[in-house]
Amino acid sequence: MVPTPSAIADVMALIRLIEDPKAFKESLDQLKAASDQLVEKIADINKREAAIVEGEAAAGKSKEAMAEERKKLDAAYADADNREARLNAAKEKHAANVKEHNERVALVVAREQELVEQRTEADRVDNELKAAVADLAAKQKALDEERAQLDADSEAFRKRAAAASEAMRKLQAA
């Protein structure tokens, strides 16, 4: 049977203990001090490792929270995009309504202008008709005066003709 390296190391340590117990005790004290330092370092490492684990857990929670916030932000962006699209559609509709309104106003203005022109023409024709009616009334008055004069002249002529007729009858009778 072949001894293992740890068994050989143990035998060597026993031999040193027997040869120089004082040096062994010093070595043992140094080893114990080094072991205590290692225990402290291991405890510190364990604390750091626990802090890292806690930090990673907190980071994981933070990532989850950030993912949730990202989802909310994405939803908010989508909602904002939808609102912007609706706003743009409303703006386009408003612009179309304004254009249609302006076209209607232009038609109304043009129609009003036509009506003003027609009214002006109607007033001109009305004035011409009034002038023509006044002219006709004056001509009718002149004709009535002329007719009255003709009737008077005709009556005078009949009276003269009747007197001439009477005078002729008297001459023929005489």
92 closest CA partner among 80, 82, 100:
100
What are 51-76's pLDDT values in tens digits?
A: 999 989 999 999 999 999 999 999 99
What are 83-106's pLDDT values in tens digits?
A: 999 999 999 999 999 999 999 999
- The full set of domain ranges for the chain reads 5-173
104 closest CA partner among 116, 96, 118:
96
Q: Which long-range contacts (CB under 8 A, 24 or more apart) does 57-60 make?
A: none
* CA atoms of 171 and 164, how far apart (whole Å): 10
Question: 30 pLDDT band (50/70/90 cuts)?
Answer: confident
pLDDT higher than threshold 90 for residue 81: yes
Higher pLDDT, 172 or 64: 64
**Are 163 and 171 spatial neighbours (Cβ–Cβ below 8 Å)?**
no
- Amino acid residing at 86: R
pTM: 0.42
Helix (H, G, I), strand (E, B) or coil at 10: helix
Mean pLDDT of 107-112: 96
pLDDT higher than threshold 60 for residue 7: yes
Share of the chain above pLDDT 90, in %: 61
pLDDT higher than threshold 80 for residue 17: no
* C-alpha triplet 78, 81, 84: angle, nearest 5°: 150
Give all strands (DSSP E) within the chain, no chain letters: none
Least confident interval from 25-39, 47-61, 103-117: 25-39
Where residue 4 falls (left for φ over 0; alpha for ψ -120 to 50; beta otherwise) is beta
* Residue reference for tokens 């004290």: 29
What are 134-159's pLDDT values in tens digits?
A: 999 999 999 999 999 988 888 888 88
Residue 3 parent element (H or E): none
Q: What is the pLDDT of residue 66?
A: 94
What burial letters (b/e) apply to 146-172, b meaning 16+ CB within 10 Å?
A: eeeeeeeeeeeeeeeeeeeeeeeeeee
